[in-house]
Amino acid sequence: MKKILVTGAMGQIGSELVSTLREHYGTSNVIGSDLWQKDEEEGPFEIVDVTDEKAIYDAAKKHNVDTIMHLAALLSAKAEAVPQIAWDLNMGGLMNALEVARELELQFFTPSSIGAFGPATPKKNTPQETVMRPTTMYGVNKVAGELLCDYYFYRYGVDTRGVRYPGLISYVTPPGGGTTDYAVEIYYEAVKSKKYTSYIAAETYMDMMYMPDALNSIIKLLEADPDKLVHRNAYNISAISAAPEDFAKAIRKHIPEFELTYNVDPVRQKIAESWPDNLDSSAAEQEWGFKAEYDIDRMTAEMLPKLRTK
């Protein structure tokens, strides 16, 4: 049975990943950690600042974990506002977590992003291996992070694994300051007021994925046969390539009067335009059986009723 320490566990992914991992591996085998904690936390939890390597080490040692899932980071839009702080958190935190994995001989997972690509990358069916020259601090951190994880595997034998996540869509915890956040907000606003003003322009396509597919992919990759993993850090995975009007179309099947208007934010629009429309996930399919279950209509049919009962 695995024993896992999750950093950044209160975030959009972590809040759902911890409960999914607890269902899978048992509550006491999954230790959540973050800068803060909910009062009603069920299961082991530690306050850990990932910029403090000793704090990560102490939590990992105390609970005798065999795996670190490192999620703590600043996302693309927030990172662009404070790039120097983003470097310290995204690179410093990753390096600290990798060092603990090396010292304690732990398995290691951390997500990269579609943000690792840049304007020179082929936009459609973006290959697993291609030009990676991102123009955001977040993207620079993600490319450097992928390389650092590869380095820890080749140099020290740390079992590092990762995926390049698309924008994730979920109804449990709101997103933390990314460029793709509009694709979550549009559902919240559709339920609340039947209208949404998008900060991303029409016909701007980005890869998106529903959270259950994102969580299943982590567990599948974590449990995959190491001998089959050629592209460890990090795998392209893809599910839904969509622009704002595609979400509106899917929402109108349930809320016909839904209105979409635009008030484009130039900062996030520029980031979005530098990212791919959709990734080629064939390496993940071949090497560890990645498969997305949700398209935009199936996701929408689940998101709207879940948000109505929130």
> Which residues carry out catalysis?
138
Angle between helices 296-308 and 182-193 (to 10 degrees): 50
Identify residue 28 by its one-letter amino acid code.
S
User: Which residue from 96, 121, 180, 274 is in contact with ligand AKB, where contact means CB under 6 A?
Assistant: 180
Instruction: Provide the 10 A C-beta neighbour count for residue 289.
Output: 12
User: Which residue from 8, 14, 134, 178 is in contact with ligand AKB, where contact means CB under 6 A?
Assistant: 178
Instruction: Provide the 10 A C-beta neighbour count for residue 239.
Output: 26
Identify residue 165 by its one-letter amino acid code.
Y
Shortest Å, Cβ 32 to ligand AKB: 21
167, 296 contact by CB (below 8 A):
no
Q: Which residue's C-beta sits nearest to ligand AKB? A: 178
User: Which residue from 75, 229, 237, 296 is in contact with ligand AKB, where contact means CB under 6 A?
Assistant: 75
Q: Does 10 bind ligand NAD (CB under 6 A)?
A: yes
Taking CB within 5 to 8 Å according to partner kind, which of ligand NAD, ligand AKB, none is near residue 221? none
Q: Does 73 bind ligand NAD (CB under 6 A)?
A: yes
Shortest Å, Cβ 35 to ligand AKB: 19
Q: Does 191 bind ligand NAD (CB under 6 A)?
A: no
Shortest Å, Cβ 139 to ligand NAD: 10
Identify residue 15 by its one-letter amino acid code.
S
Q: Does 179 bind ligand AKB (CB under 6 A)?
A: yes
Taking the least distance from each CB to ligand AKB, the nearer of 75 and 100 is 75
209, 239 contact by CB (below 8 A):
yes
Closest alpha carbon to 68 in 43, 36, 32? 32
- 240-242/45-47 β-pairing: unpaired
User: Which residue from 11, 32, 115, 276 is in contact with ligand AKB, where contact means CB under 6 A?
Assistant: 115
Separation between Cα atoms, residue 243 and residue 203, nearest integer Å: 5
Q: Does 83 bind ligand NAD (CB under 6 A)?
A: no
Task: State the greatest distance between any 2 C-alpha atoms of the chain, in Å, as a whole number.
Answer: 57
Shortest Å, Cβ 139 to ligand AKB: 9
The first and second tokens of residue 186, run together, are: 């549009």
Taking the least distance from each CB to ligand NAD, the nearer of 5 and 193 is 5
Separation between Cα atoms, residue 94 and residue 100, nearest integer Å: 10
Identify residue 242 by its one-letter amino acid code.
A
Separation between Cα atoms, residue 36 and residue 47, nearest integer Å: 6
> Taking contact as CB under 6 A, which single stretch among the options 162-170, 233-241, 250-258, 296-304 is the one that binds ligand NAD?
162-170
User: What residues form DSSP beta bridges with 279?
Assistant: 126
Binding stretches for ligand AKB (CB under 6 A): 75-76, 113-115, 138, 167, 178-180
Binding stretches for ligand NAD (CB under 6 A): 7-8, 10-14, 34-35, 48-51, 71-73, 75, 89, 93, 111, 113, 165, 167-168, 175-176, 178, 180
